[in-house]
Amino acid sequence: MLEHNFQYKVRNYAQNDSQSGFTLLEVLIAIGITAMIGLGSSQILTSAIRTSDATQSRLEELNALQKTMLIISRDFQQLAPRSIRDEYGDYQNAFSTQSDFYSLEFSRVGWRNPMEDTRSTIQRVAYELDQDKLIRHYWSVLDRSHDSDSVSRTLIEGVEDMSFRFRNESGGWLDAWPPESSNSGTGAAPVDPRFAVNQIPTAIEITMNFKQFGSITRLFDLVTYLPGQKFPSSTTN
């Protein structure tokens, strides 16, 4: 009797134990579902990271473009009719596109001097397009010597092409500066040779083609310095 009761309890325990566990099929299904959830979560996370990186990269490019345009605007708005001597002692125009090394070279005022260094507040600036990099140069002196090296800074990358147009005093547009003739434009009065090297345009249009932004054109109306006053060049005494 006791043995029969013991066997009966063992059978009931075995049955109850088998009913409280998972079958192999259920375990495999659970593992498959977990794997699918993990794979989906991984893909969503990877996509979110890529989107975040792409967005951050675009924001950095847009920020670089805004800074570049701000620097160019400040330079153009403070143009100065001040010619210089280069390292060979030759006179260079106050504003010129005829440089062998730079797309544009000019003088500008408003160069702050918080350290009170012994230098002018007029700065000589040049822009260069090196492959796809727009580089800004400046010199610590105006009239340069052979050891006067420029300080360069890459403003932005991805520039495929850059072009300028310049408005003269008569309202005409030129592709190069200074004008080839001694006149600033058709119908304009002849320019005194003493002041020819100090001519500056009245407006500048710049067009840049970017890989990431396409074509961007900006027009800058320039400030007129000391209306009616001329800045004679040291070429004529």
Q: Where are the alpha helices (DSSP H) in 140-208?
A: 193-196
Counted domains in the chain: 1
Query: For residues 170 and 186, is the Cβ–Cβ distance under 8 A?
Result: yes
Residue 104 lies in a domain: yes
CATH of the domain at 114: 3.10.610.10
Residue 63 lies in a domain: yes
Residue 2 DSSP code: H
> What pLDDT is attached to residue 191?
52
CA distance 33 to 29: 6
> What pLDDT is attached to residue 4?
53
Residue 99 lies in a domain: yes
β-pair partners for 151: 138
Q: Domain limits at 146? A: 57-221
Residue 85 lies in a domain: yes
The predicted model scores a pTM of 0.71
C-alpha closest to that of 93 among 135, 129, 142, 139: 142
Q: What would the pLDDT profile of 62-110 be if each residue is shown by its tens digit?
A: 999 999 999 999 999 999 999 998 888 888 899 999 988 899 999 999 8
Q: What would the pLDDT profile of 207-230 be if each residue is shown by its tens digit?
A: 999 998 899 999 998 876 555 555
CA distance 67 to 153: 12
